Every structure is written in C-alpha cells, then in structure tokens.
Amino acid sequence: MEPELRNRIKVQRAICDLTQAELAEKAGVTRKSVNAIETGRMVPSVLLALKLANALGVTVDALFTLDGDAPK
Amino acid sequence: MSTSEVFMAEPISNRSEIYLRFSRRSMAVVLMVVLMLSAMGIALTLHANVPKTAIWLIPIAIAIAVVVLQSTTRGDRWDPESPEAKALLNDEWRQANLNRATRVAFGLTLLVQVPLGLLFAAGLELQVQQAVTAMVISTTGFGVTSMISLFLWFDRE
C-alpha cells in the first residue's frame, strides 16, 4: 500500500498566528495553493515545501510526514 | 486618492485575491468570446445567409467584457512584475489544474471527433468544403472551450 503524505501546515500556521493568505504571501504563492496542500488535494514540489517551511520558521520534516512516521 | 492609490493601499493578500478574480474573469471572457466566434463560424459555414451585422456583436461584446474586467481590478493595470502577479503565474496548484484540464480536454476533443464527423459529413449532407470547415471550427472551438471550462472547474474554490 502506498504511504500517504500528511502535513501539519494548519497547526504550524495556528502557532505562528497566520492566515492562509498571510502564509501564501510569505511563501510567494496563492491562498488556493496553501488551501489545496492543507486539505491534501495537492502534493507540493520540494521547492514549495521549502518555501512553506521557511515561511513558518520550521523544517520541511516538521511540516510533512509519511503516514505512519512519527512527527519530528 | 486615485483608484491606483486605493488599489496599492490594499493589503497584499487582498490584492492577490483581486488579481486571482481578474484572472478567472478574464478566462471566462475568453471562453465566451471563443464560444461566440465558433457559433458564428459554424452558422456562416452552414448558412451563408446569416446577417453580416450579427458579426458586429462580437467586438461590442468584447468591449463590454473589457469594461467589466477593468472594474474587477478597480481601475489598476495588471502588473506582471508585481509579487502578486508572479505568485499567480508561478502558482503550482493553478499549473497542476491547467495541465489536468489540458489532458482531459484533449481526450474529450478526440472522442468528439467521431460524432462531429458523422454529423457534418453524413447527417447534414454538406459539401466537402463546408464539412471540413465546420469540422475545423467545431474541433478548435470545442477544444479551447472545454479546456478553459475544465480549468475554471478544477481551479474553483
């Protein structure tokens, strides 16, 4: 069975007190992209994952995990 | 304050939404124009007696659409160098939706060739030149309109 990608963007956003629009602006993407990633409709590229992680001040590992992996 | 100053005073997130709305409405306008052109082309191909004055409806409709689109950006011009425009143009979600819409539209256009061919070649009993012209116009129109429609659907909120 294919492992599924999980993300903690919404949680990290709440910690940083950012709206989707504010996070999108910091990462240089549209709010729809952030929404699509949060809801699992889109798997971001490495570049976008890095931009989101930088915008939230965390590592990519802290944002994205494979199903079954323990969060770092 | 001028409309441009009002626009620039908006929070950037609002400006991104304005650009996004402008982009979607622009595509809807292109969709309408292509539909109108295709319909006009098919009508002229099948019936040479279509009033030529009807052709003037197209530039009038385009002019009205441009005015409506300008109101979306509140009078400010699309600036391709602005961070909001770059975010929109390089957006991965939109690019993924465009790719998906293009693939599906291509498949649908291929599928629709057989019924269109049967319709124009056999069903309507057209001359060869008329049938070919009608096929070209309807295939192009169907391809473009289905691609834009699918993109607007996939990219919806």
Provide the ipTM.
Answer: 0.81
**Torsion over CA: B65, B5, B157, A42 (sign):** positive
A-B contacts (CB, under 8 Å): 50
CA–CA distance, B5 with B27 (Å, rounded to integer): 26
Residue B74 has pLDDT above 70, yes or no: no
Residue for token digits 């599924």?
A: A4
SS3 A66: strand
Q: CA of B104, closest CA in chain A: separation in Å?
A: 18
pLDDT per residue over B131-151, tens digit each?
899 999 999 999 999 999 999
Q: Which residues contact B136 (CB under 8 A, 6 or more apart)?
A: none
Q: Which of residues 25-44 of A touch B (CB under 8 A)?
A: 25, 28-33, 36-37, 42, 44
Average pLDDT, rounded, for chain B: 83
User: Tell me, what DSSP letter sits at residue A6?
Assistant: E
Cβ–Cβ under 8 Å, residues B119 and A57: no
User: Tell me, what DSSP letter sits at residue A40?
Assistant: T
Give the per-residue pLDDT at A52. 95
The alpha carbon of B29 is separated from its chain's Cα centroid by a whole number of angstroms, namely: 6
Hey, are the CB atoms on B92 and A32 less than 8 Å from each other? no
Q: Which residues contact B4 (CB under 8 A, 6 or more apart)?
A: B75, B76
CA–CA distance, B46 with B134 (Å, rounded to integer): 8
Cβ–Cβ under 8 Å, residues B145 and B34: yes
Nearest CA in chain B to A47: B92
pLDDT per residue over B96-132, tens digit each?
999 999 999 999 999 999 999 888 888 777 888 888 9
Q: Which residues of B touch A (CB under 8 A)?
A: 12-13, 16-17, 20, 83, 86-88, 90-94, 96, 155, 157
Of residues A21, A25, A42, nearest to B96 (C-beta): A42
Hey, are the CB atoms on A30 and B20 less than 8 Å from each other? yes
Confidence of residue B58 (pLDDT cuts 50, 70, 90): confident
SS3 A19: coil
